[in-house]
């Protein structure tokens, strides 16, 4: 049985070796919150050991984020720094890889007007359109790994003190990421091979429609005739294999954009930009979301 610290170090190694699959001479860009600085330093060390030329870190701070959303003027949320968007695009075109340490604080922005969050999201999406197009098409390597925040940990373990809650959440995260195994990298190779087998089986079936039924959910999704199932990881424009999400059990394809019909209901709360949405449903007609309900966070 390895120590938690050893498992966290192996998790950092997985982020670099399996998630991003850093190549010699490559630049790694890390986006992470300040309270995960120790974990980010482990990631940087693993990246340099793998041959990375630069590790650039963009830090995020909950208090500054909340301060801006509560105090800045409305027009601030309709803008996104073009110099930052240009920088990300320049690094992407130079074959940089991008790693996000996902560490949310649920309810961080619960007192913020949803219109501000929406405006900021649209401004970001517009400014970063070219960069995100490269990411979404798999032209560049990118990955997301999770790490605890104090707020997230105490939301999951409400009866524990902050330090104990963070430790418990770390234990679950490293287990889910297979970082507690004797050979985590080999465990991931085995897992990805199994996921590929699932994708091959689904591609052989050539299903025309998927049907989902569960409490509150009755949904049909038609598939395009030439759809392809993909699982686990993909190859970027240079042929480097990377895994966008650690952990992942993902097996996915593309729906027919005009043939999604019915209602899908949530089974877990959704943290969206620091606001919780819970017990919600979305109804689709011919691929368009036409109605939504939520017990918590409907405006968001």
What is the tens place of the pLDDT at every residue in 61-91? 999 999 999 999 999 999 999 999 999 999 9
Average pLDDT, the chain: 95
* Residue 273 pLDDT: 82
287: left (phi over 0), alpha (psi -120 to 50) or beta: left
Q: What is the largest CA-CA distance in the chain?
A: 55
> Residues 16-42: what's their mean pLDDT?
97
Residue 156 pLDDT > 90, yes or no? Answer: yes
Task: Determine the 3-state secondary structure of 74 from DSSP.
Answer: helix
Residue 21 pLDDT > 80, yes or no? Answer: yes
Give the whole-number percent of the chain exceeding pLDDT 90.
93
Confidence of residue 279 (pLDDT cuts 50, 70, 90): very high
- Tokens matching residue 13: 């190694």
Q: Which of 287, 288, 196 is nearest to 241 (CA)?
A: 196
User: Would you say how long the chain is, in residues?
Assistant: 300
Confidence of residue 107 (pLDDT cuts 50, 70, 90): confident
Residue 1 pLDDT > 80, yes or no? Answer: no
Residue 272 pLDDT > 90, yes or no? Answer: no
pLDDT tens digit sequence for 189-212:
999 999 999 999 999 999 999 999
Task: Determine the 3-state secondary structure of 283 from DSSP.
Answer: strand
What is the spatial distance between Cα 167 and Cα 283, in angstroms, rounded to a whole number? 39
What is the spatial distance between Cα 25 and Cα 96, in angstroms, rounded to a whole number? 10
Say what angle helices 82-93 and 114-127 make with each other, to 10 degrees.
40
Domains of the chain in sequence order: 4-186 (3.40.1830.10)
pLDDT tens digit sequence for 158-180:
999 999 999 999 999 999 999 99
* Residue 95 pLDDT: 95
Confidence of residue 259 (pLDDT cuts 50, 70, 90): very high
What is the spatial distance between Cα 147 and Cα 173, in angstroms, rounded to a whole number? 7
Confidence of residue 119 (pLDDT cuts 50, 70, 90): very high
Beta bridge partners of 46: none
* Residue 261 pLDDT: 98
> Residues 127-149: what's their mean pLDDT?
95
């Amino acid at each position: 049985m390895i120590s938690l610290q050893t498992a966290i170090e192996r998790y950092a190694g997985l982020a670099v070796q399996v998630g991003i699959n850093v190549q010699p001479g490559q630049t790694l860009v890390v986006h992470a919150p300040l309270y995960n600085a120790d974990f980010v330093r482990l990631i940087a060390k693993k990246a340099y050991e793998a041959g990375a030329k630069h590790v650039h870190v963009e830090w995020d701070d909950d208090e500054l984020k909340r301060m801006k959303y509560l105090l800045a003027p409305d027009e601030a949320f309709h803008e996104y720094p073009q110099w930052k968007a240009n920088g990300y695009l320049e690094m992407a075109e130079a074959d940089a890889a991008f790693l996000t340490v996902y560490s949310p604080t649920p309810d961080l922005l619960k007192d913020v007007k949803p219109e501000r969050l929406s405006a900021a999201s649209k401004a970001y999406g517009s400014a970063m359109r070219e960069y995100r197009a490269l990411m979404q098409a798999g032209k560049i390597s990118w990955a997301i790994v999770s790490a605890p925040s104090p707020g997230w940990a105490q939301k999951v373990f409400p009866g524990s003190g902050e330090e104990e809650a963070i430790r418990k959440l770390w234990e679950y995260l490293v287990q889910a990421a297979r970082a507690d195994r004797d050979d985590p990298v080999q465990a991931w190779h085995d897992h990805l091979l199994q996921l590929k087998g699932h994708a091959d089986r689904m591609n052989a079936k050539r299903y025309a429609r998927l049907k989902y039924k569960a409490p509150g959910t009755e949904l049909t999704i038609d598939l395009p005739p030439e759809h392809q199932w993909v699982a686990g990881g993909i190859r970027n424009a240079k042929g480097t294999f990377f895994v966008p999400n650690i952990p992942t059990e993902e097996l996915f394809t593309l729906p027919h954009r005009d043939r999604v019909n019915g209602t899908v209901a949530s089974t877990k709360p959704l943290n969206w930009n620091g606001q919780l949405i819970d017990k919600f449903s979305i109804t689709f007609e011919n691929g368009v979301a036409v109605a939504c309900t939520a017990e918590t966070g409907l405006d968001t």
